[in-house]
A = this chain, B = another copy of it.
Amino acid sequence: MSIFHNVRPPAEALELMLRHVNPLGAGELVPTSEALDRVTAAPVMAPHPLPFFRRGTMDGFAVRSADTHGASASLPAMLSIVGEVLMGQSATVDLRPGEAAVIHTGGHLPEAADAVVPIEDTQPLGDAEVEVLKSVALGENVIQVGEDMAKGGQILPSGHWLRPQDIGALLAFGLAEIPVVTRPRVALLSTGDELVSPSQRKLQPGQIRDINSHTCAALTLRAGGSPDVLGIVADQWEALQHAAAAALALADVLVLSAGSSVSVRDMTARVIAGLGEPGILFHGVAVRPGKPTIGAAVNDKPVFGLPGNPVSAMNLFNLLVVPTIHHLLGCQNPPQPRQVQARVTRNVAAMPGREDHIAARIVSRDGELWAEPVFGKSNLIHTLVRADGTFVIPLDAGGVTAGDWVTVRYFR
């Protein structure tokens, strides 16, 4: 296969990449309270039923339901109060027919009781007796043992991205540690003789600071990966070949950001092609901005060559690298994109045969949301900070007309 001119639509490019790389599988134990935004490495089963004791769900009286049958406001059932179930304590009270015990929401239901009469359906008669004004059915206002989760039941599947409530669910079972997938290590390498470190204060004309490594590092963190910013490599075959091979040996994903000139892009492509088998999967993605993007697989590891332009690099990182990181994590429920429906403020033309990703600001006019395209010559920094997200003009649409509804996906 020629390493050039193998241009794919973005969805096809991604699908091709995912077919060539497998989830990492490696896991580690972490404290559950620190497992937010990690991904489970195995299904998690309930070590005990939840609740593991019968709980009342109302403030009121624990009763034998049969004692209340037929009770009404005009013909109340009279029960003797023989004790109180204290919160956090085992119910020790023994309930014989005709007896009731005070119970609070969440309290342990006494063994002989089978229902709770809510306090608003009762009438006290001194401290020792209570009138029940409404009958309760067996099990009413009670959560049974294991009703929330049976012992051995699956709390969470494998490959589950842990949200705040999942942390809570695991801790409810006392699971203080949890096996999670090791974060994929994403090596970020920049090349291009015009690039200098962002920490460099004074620049010569012709030099620009390398920002793609840092925006990609931030996107990697959001995607659940572990970024490794390796810095800038000179635009020389041997240096780049050596740096790329060394980075790939230690990482799970290699992302090369390739400078803006055509010559360095071509060299990057040849370096990627030489890293190993099966090699380059696509060279060029039918998307703007971001067409000159390369995807390769090398011994089951994904390698991406992104364009040097910051907007292009970010767009393609979101389109291809983020879902690849999710795939390596084996994640079944990656965070959904933040998106909003809005009407486009002006006509935007598009070339057929490629997806156009148009940066846009969301503005509110008379309570309606509008997407205002943000154009900058050659996709400048300006575009990145002024826009809220992007909308897509599909592969073979000719463009959008002012007033059309579009889905704006917020930048991550």
Binding site for B on A (CB under 8 A): 32-33, 36, 50-53, 57, 59, 85-91, 104-108, 143, 147-149, 155-156, 163-169, 171-174, 176, 192-196, 198-201, 203-209, 211-212, 214-219, 221-222, 229, 235, 259-264, 308, 310, 314, 335-338, 340-341, 376-378, 380-382, 384-385, 410-412
Residue of B206, B208, B308 touching A89 (CB-CB under 8 A): B206
Q: Which residues on the B side are within 8 Å of A211 (C-beta)? A: 167-169, 171-172
B214, B221, B337, B380: the one within 8 Å of A338 (CB) = B337
Residues of B within 8 A of A203 (CB): 52, 174
Q: Measured between alpha carbons, how far is A378 from B55 in the docked complex, in Å?
A: 11
Query: Could you show 14 A-B contacts with beta carbons less than 8 Å apart?
Result: A50-B381, A87-B194, A87-B259, A89-B193, A91-B205, A105-B260, A105-B261, A147-B377, A168-B314, A172-B208, A172-B381, A174-B199, A174-B200, A335-B410
A50 to B377, CA, bound (A): 13
Question: Which B-chain residue is minimally distant from A162 (CB atoms)?
Answer: B218
For A104, what are the chain B residues with a Cβ–Cβ distance below 8 Å? 260-263
| Cβ–Cβ contact A214 & B167, under 8 A | yes
Rounded to whole angstroms, the CA-CA distance of A174 and B87 in the bound complex is: 59
List the B side residues contacting A209 at CB < 8 Å: 171-174
Let me know if B168 and A212 touch, CB within 8 A: yes
Interface contact B167-A106, CB-CB below 8 Å: no
Q: Quick one: which of B52, B156, B214, B308 contacts A106, CB cutoff 8 A?
A: B308
Nearest-CB distance from A234 to chain B (Å)? 10
| Alpha-carbon distance A412/B147, docked complex (angstroms) | 26
Cβ–Cβ < 8 Å partners of A172 in chain B? 198, 208-209, 211, 310, 381
**Closest residue to A111 on the B side, CB-wise?**
B205
Does the CB pair B336–A166 fall under 8 Å?
no
- Specify which chain B residues have a CB less than 8 angstroms from the CB of A378 in the assembled complex: 57, 143
Q: Are A262 and B199 in contact (CB under 8 A)?
A: no
Q: B36, B204, B377: which contacts A57 (Cβ < 8 A)?
A: B377
Chain B neighbourhood of A221, CB < 8 A: 36
Q: A214: which of B168, B229, B376 is its contact (CB, 8 Å)?
A: B168
- Indicate if the CB atoms of A380 and B171 lie closer than 8 Å: no
A165 to B211 alpha-carbon distance, docked (Å): 9
Top 7 closest A-B pairs, CB basis? A104-B261, A164-B218, A171-B198, A106-B260, A53-B205, A165-B384, A168-B215
Q: How far is the CA of A264 from the CA of B260 in the complex (A)?
A: 65
Q: Are A148 and B382 in contact (CB under 8 A)?
A: yes
